[in-house]
Amino acid sequence: MQPTPATGGRHRDGSPRHRSLRVAPYSPSRLLRAGQGARCRHCGHRLEWFHTSNGQPIALHPAEIPATTVPESCRWHLSCGTAYPSGDGSAWCRIPHTLLCPHHTAPAPLSAPLQAARRQLAVRTRRLQAHTFTPPPSPPATKPRPQPCRPARPVVQILYTCYLAAHPIEELRCVAQTRHRHRCPSPILATTPGTWTLLPTGPTHGQLALPQQLMAVYNLSHLPCAEQMRWRTQRCPAHTAAPGAADVTLPGWEVFDPLLHHRHIHSRLPNAARQHHPR
């Protein structure tokens, strides 16, 4: 089988028009196939994988090269889709990709045409790497927006008793069960919210009196008694009107103790946004 010299015509995917076929040894259909096209992981250029006569894979340059410009030890030819070393007597041959890959050292002294082709691939590799690894321009620095300071476990005053909530005020959910046997996703915060105020911590239970200090409290004392009971039972307005619904879990309130819950005492109202001062 005489290889056909490479011409300028190529398929739309960039592959040469003349491609050798072979029968894949692992294919149950025994169909002919062409060389497996791929790209070198070092330089990014195209190559074709073939099997040699002893079954070993080899990566060949996709184009055919004049045999007079290639050292005899680097000449390969294809027959029925299998790569064989040395030439087959024609004026054209295939060469290993490592002969031109700029990542590898040339295994043999190269002729002037091969050296020029190797330099051309090296230039293309640098262009590909510059296009691939150039970091994108960093976005302009923006001033962070001041976020409102909200305690993770606020102190809430219900019916003149201070309780420690399990979650922030906006995240307190109803504990009632829906018709689908799931927990109600509605918050207990209604259209008439409470107000943040500074109140004294109050005495401890069963301990020595501590010096009282002011702490931020979510006060519900100005709301009607029924509304405060709704908060203490931790139900949304819809399930408060339907008392027949069962509770999925217990309300997440703890009676506030200044000695046990001293980590959750905040002496500043959370209404104002926290300011970030440069150091």
Residues near 71 by beta carbon (within 8 Å), at least 6 away in sequence: 108, 109, 110, 111
246: exposed, middle or buried (Cβ count in 10 Å: 0-12, 13-18, 19+): exposed
Residue 6 lies inside a defined structural domain of this protein: no
- Claim to verify: residue 191 and residue 240 sit in the same structural domain: yes
Q: Where does a domain end: 131, 163, 185?
A: 131
Distance of alpha carbon 274 from alpha carbon 157, whole angstroms? 24
Q: Which domain holds residue 230?
A: 155-264
- Claim to verify: residue 126 and residue 168 sit in the same structural domain: no
- Claim to verify: residue 90 and residue 29 sit in the same structural domain: yes
- Claim to verify: residue 174 and residue 257 sit in the same structural domain: yes
Residue 149 lies inside a defined structural domain of this protein: no
Biggest CA-to-CA distance, the chain: 106
Mean per-residue pLDDT for 103-112?
76
Helix residue spans in the chain (DSSP H)? 112-133, 225-233, 237-241
Q: How high is the pLDDT of residue 271?
A: 67
CA distances from 22 to 26, 32, 34, 64 (A): 12, 5, 6, 18
Q: Where does a domain end: 96, 131, 166?
A: 131
Residue 259 lies inside a defined structural domain of this protein: yes
Distance of alpha carbon 256 from alpha carbon 156, whole angstroms? 9
- Please indicate whether residue 203 or residue 229 has the higher confidence score (pLDDT): 229
- Please indicate whether residue 112 or residue 138 has the higher confidence score (pLDDT): 112
Residue 270 lies inside a defined structural domain of this protein: no
- Claim to verify: residue 109 and residue 162 sit in the same structural domain: no
- Claim to verify: residue 181 and residue 114 sit in the same structural domain: no
Mean per-residue pLDDT for 167-186?
89
Token pair 């619904």 in the structure block, residue: 245
Q: Give SS3 for 102.
A: coil
232: pLDDT strictly greater than 80: yes
- Claim to verify: residue 126 and residue 167 sit in the same structural domain: no
Residue 146 lies inside a defined structural domain of this protein: no
- Claim to verify: residue 125 and residue 159 sit in the same structural domain: no
- Claim to verify: residue 239 and residue 193 sit in the same structural domain: yes
Residue 136 lies inside a defined structural domain of this protein: no
- Claim to verify: residue 174 and residue 259 sit in the same structural domain: yes
Residue 205 lies inside a defined structural domain of this protein: yes
Residue 144 lies inside a defined structural domain of this protein: no
- Claim to verify: residue 114 and residue 162 sit in the same structural domain: no
- Claim to verify: residue 248 and residue 175 sit in the same structural domain: yes
Q: How high is the pLDDT of residue 154?
A: 92
Mean per-residue pLDDT for 271-277?
51
Domains: count for the chain: 2
Length of the chain: 279
